Amino acid sequence: MNNDLLKQQIIEALNLEDLTPADIRDDEPLFGEGLGLDSIDALELFVLLDKQYGIKLQNKEEGKQVFRSVNTMAAYIEEHRTK
Amino acid sequence: MNYIIADHIISPLAAGSENNLDAVLSGQSALRSYTDRFPMVDPFCASLFDNADFETLCIEAVKGTNTDACLLSSKDTLFVLSTTKGNVAFLSQTEDIALIDSACRIAQTFGNTNTPVVVSNACISGVCALITAQRILEAGVYKHIVVVGCDVLSTFIVSGFQSFKALSPDPCTPFDASRQGLNLGEAAACVIMTSDETYAPVSYGSILAGAIHNDANHISGPSRTGEGSFLCLRDVMGQEDTLAFVNVHGTATLYNDEMEAIALNRAGLQNIPINALKGYYGHTLGAAGLLETILSLHALRRGVIIGTKGYSVQGTTQAVAVSSEVRRTDKKECIKLLSGFGGCNAAIRLTTESALQPSAQPTPAYCTIADIVITPEKVILNGQSVPSSAHGGALLSELYRTHVGDWPKFFKMDTLSRLGFVASEILLGSLSEERFVPRQDRAIVLANRSSCLQNDREYQRTIMPDNYYPSPALFVYTLPNIVTGEIAIRNKYYGETSFYVLDNPAQLEQLIALAFQQAGTKSVLTGWIECPDENTFDAHLKIVEKIQ
């Protein structure tokens, strides 16, 4: 799993204008302070996983675990991707 | 003075308000599981008609009131339509889905040629439509108002709520510890109101007070402090000892019900019985405020409080007096409370007695203190041209970078919200007042003709058969009032936020004065904000203030 590709996909999916992959650290929390993401962004990450990797997360609780950081997302994708 | 003189409900449970009340009192629910009702969507639980056509349902709801044809067609009668998405189900086939055109066809069916008003304020539309009707009657603009509310479901709406992970797979359980989310529902409901005292003998209720407030917190998440709902309750609650119950929104999402429990406690209403009707009908969107108001009023007349189907164990951190079963009451007043996307909240207090109201206040005079025009070619602030190098769709981003720059959520907004946001920023920046000071005395009242068609189109592209990935970030902007919420959040404005879909800007001028009828409103950020596509837009915004 290429973390820079994933970061670019996050930036595009969430319209994080003016950010580049270099601005997002691999182990930085995606939610909370950091990038200023909110609950709608979290839901949009569900769509990203489904659309790009064929992964359907079942509920918000599962999302909270997967979306802790780019590293946790990348690891989850590596293990569960269907495309 | 306003008199409620007729009403009608059409729901999957029954036709007729009294028949619906009978069904609800006997514990019936229209909620069912559906697996292949709409293309592509996952299985869901909802309350649906076998066949539903939006305009037909609206027309049947009006007919069902058995109102005199002369009143319906009178030049003194205005039609007010409450809906979130109207005919959006047809968007995949045609773009001829304007809400105002639907409203005109509905009014014309009854020979009424006055240009109607559409209230499209997300889930609080029904109560806002009743407040709008009350204000119009108080101001004497029209004598009679036909308020009709309806929404029908489709892949468009169900997919959006599924993308929000807001739906419960089972019949919803408002305020209960086990609640998992909401169910959607279809219904149409109509209320006929008049200021004509000759109707007093046939009147069975009236609106005593109404209020609309924004949370100024988030465009989709309920406030953790229940701010807007609390302010609405505070404004309308009156004497506690005459209050039979509060009919709450009670969608059965974790956060909505928690928010309402907090708001009720803050208002000191934790011991007043509350009930929620979503366990019978689901969330009927633009019809909800009307359907639930009508049932509450009919229940009061029978001396009962409807039970909250699905409730058994307290599921909110703060206790409230949820009425789980039908119980008796001899009190004559109730409150209807709603909240919705865009951070909006609304409440009305109703009585079954049609007297003892203060006389109408004269409509206050107001003056414009600042104005702005933004089109793809020009920006004019208070009569002066504002320099810009960009044109078309790029203009809004340039204006944001030049005049704002510290609100990255701008780039997540749809074009309508971007337009309203930058226009309001430049406009408010031109005033000699301190920015970002929390205030409740400035309302935001915007209007246009095309609602949010441009973003509807964008969302539709995410639910195509060969590309079905419904986007929650786009879905939330398929409500035109979100722009008012964005401005309220930025500025910490806790006053009224309203969005009307009208035929022309002149109609809005009539409505601006009405906003001052809300107690405490001294200033209104208002205007016409049109955006049929991302390169064609037109904002004429202004700030008007009451002349003391």
CA distances from B490 to B91, B101, B494 (A): 32, 33, 11
Q: Which of B255, B257, B253, B263 is nearest to B225 (CA)?
A: B263
Residue B529's nearest CA partner among B492, B470, B487, B473 is B487
Distance, in Å, from the CA atom of B227 to the CA atom of B239, rounded to the nearest integer, reads: 21
Which residues lie across from B500 on neighbouring strands? B119, B447
Residue contact B220–A15, C-beta within 8 A: no
Whole-number Cα distances in Å, B332 to B192, B240, B273, B328, B454: 20, 11, 14, 12, 46
Alpha-carbon span B80 to B68, nearest angstrom: 18
Contact criterion met (CB < 8 Å) for B473 and A51: no
Homologous superfamily, domain B3-351: Thiolase/Chalcone synthase (3.40.47.10)
Task: Report the pLDDT value the prediction gives residue B359, as an integer from 0 to 100.
Answer: 55
For residue B91, the tally of other CB atoms under 10 A from its CB is: 20
Scanning every residue of chain B, which has its alpha carbon at the shortest distance from the alpha carbon of A40? B473
CB contact under 8 A, B473 and A43: yes
Q: Does A40 touch chain B (CB under 8 A)?
A: yes
DSSP symbol at B201:
G
CB contact under 8 A, B220 and A17: no
Per-residue pLDDT tens for A3-58? 999 999 999 999 998 899 999 999 989 998 778 899 999 999 999 999 999 999 98
Contact B408 A39 (CB under 8 A): no
Chain B contact set for A14 (CB, 8 A): 412, 473
- For residues B202 and B354, what is the distance between their CA atoms, to the nearest angstrom? 10
Strand B321-322, strand B273-275: pairing: parallel
- The model's pTM is 0.97
Residue bearing tokens 């993401």: A37
- Closest chain A CA to residue B162: A43
Q: Where are the beta strands (DSSP E) in B293-343?
A: 304-305, 321-322, 327-328, 333-340
Tokens representing B215 are 């949370």
CB contact under 8 A, B408 and A50: no
CB contact under 8 A, B476 and A40: yes
Please tell me if residue B406 touches chain A, with a CB cutoff of 8 Å: no
Structure-token pair, residue B420 = 């309203």
Contact partners, residue B198, CB within 8 Å, separation at least 6: none
Q: Which of B469, B470, B472 sits opposite A40 (nearest CB)?
A: B472
The whole-angstrom separation of Cα A83 and Cα A8 is 18
Chain A residues lying within 8 Å of B163, measured CB to CB = 43, 46-47
DSSP code string of B85-154: STTGGGTTT-S---HHHHHHHHHHHTT--SPPEEE--GGGHHHHHHHHHHHHHHHTS-SEEEEEEEE---
pLDDT at residue A2 in the model: 87
**How many Cβ atoms sit within 10 Å of the Cβ of residue B466?**
4
- Chain B positions touching A59 (Cβ under 8 A) are 165
Q: Are B523 and B341 in contact (CB under 8 A)?
A: no
Q: Do B164 and A14 touch (CB under 8 A)?
A: no
| Chain B contact for A46 (CB, 8 A cutoff) | yes
Sequence letter at residue B367: C
Cα–Cα distance measured from residue B77 to residue B68, given in angstroms and rounded to the nearest whole number: 12
Strands B523-533 and B144-151: unpaired
Contact present, B280 and B24 (Cβ < 8 Å): yes
Q: Say whether A38 and B163 touch across the interface (CB within 8 A).
A: no
Task: Report the residue from B411, B469, B472 with minimal CB separation from A51.
Answer: B469
How is residue B159 written in tokens?
Answer: 């997919």
In chain B, residues with a C-beta closer than 8 Å to the C-beta of A43 are 163-165, 472-473
- B473 chain-A contacts, CB cut-off 8 A: 14-15, 40-41, 43-44
> Would B3-351 and B366-546 be classified into the same CATH topology?
yes
Quick check: A47 and B470 CB within 8 A?
yes
Identify which of B529, B512, B527, B501 has the alpha carbon closest to the alpha carbon of residue B104. B501
Q: Walk along chain B (548 residues) and give the pLDDT tens digit of each residue.
A: 899 999 999 999 999 999 999 999 999 999 999 999 999 999 999 999 999 999 999 999 999 999 999 999 999 999 999 999 999 999 989 888 999 999 999 999 999 999 999 999 999 999 999 999 999 999 999 999 999 999 999 999 999 999 999 999 999 999 999 999 999 999 999 999 999 999 999 999 999 999 999 999 999 999 999 999 999 999 999 888 999 999 999 999 999 999 999 999 999 999 999 999 999 999 999 999 999 999 999 999 999 999 999 999 999 999 999 999 999 999 999 999 999 999 999 999 999 986 555 555 667 899 999 999 999 999 999 999 999 999 988 999 999 999 999 999 999 999 999 999 999 999 999 999 999 999 999 999 999 999 999 999 999 999 999 999 999 999 999 999 999 999 999 999 999 999 999 999 999 998 999 999 999 999 999 999 999 888 899 999 999 999 97
Three-state secondary structure call for residue B221: coil
Pairing of the two strands B77-82 and B44-47: unpaired
Between chains, do A43 and B163 touch, taking CB under 8 Å as contact?
yes
Q: With an 8 Å Cβ cutoff, is B219 touching chain A?
A: yes
CB pairs under 8 A between A and B: 43
Q: Chain B contact for A25, CB < 8 A?
A: no
Residue A21 to residue A57: CA distance in whole angstroms: 24
What's the gap in Å between the CA of A51 and the closest CA on chain B? Answer: 7
Other beta carbons within 10 Å of B12 = 22
Verify whether the Cβ–Cβ distance B221 to A38 is below 8 Å.
yes
Domain ranges of chain B: 3-351, 366-546
- Number of neighbouring beta carbons within 10 Å of residue B60: 17
Q: Are B474 and B455 in contact (CB under 8 A)?
A: yes
Architecture of the domain delimited by B366-546? 3-Layer(aba) Sandwich (3.40)
How far is the C-alpha of B508 from the C-alpha of B514, rounded, in Å?
10
Give me the count of residues in chain B. 548
Q: Which domain holds residue A31?
A: 3-80
CATH number at residue A64: 1.10.1200.10
Q: How far apart are the first and last CA of chain A?
A: 12
Token pair of A13 as six digits:
């999916």
Check A14 against B469: CB less than 8 A apart.
no
Q: Which residue of B has its CA nearest to A59?
A: B165
CB atoms within 10 A of CB A77: 18
How many structural domains does chain A have? 1
In sequence order, what are the beta bridge partners of B69?
none
B253 shares contact with chain A (CB less than 8 Å): no
Distance CA B274, CA B82 (A): 24
User: Rounded distance, CA B470 to CA A13, Å?
Assistant: 13
Complex confidence, ipTM: 0.95
Nearest beta carbon to residue A39 from set B221, B411, B470: B221
Answer yes or no: do B412 and A43 touch at CB < 8 A: no
- Residues 358..387 of B with a Cβ closer than 8 Å to A: which? none
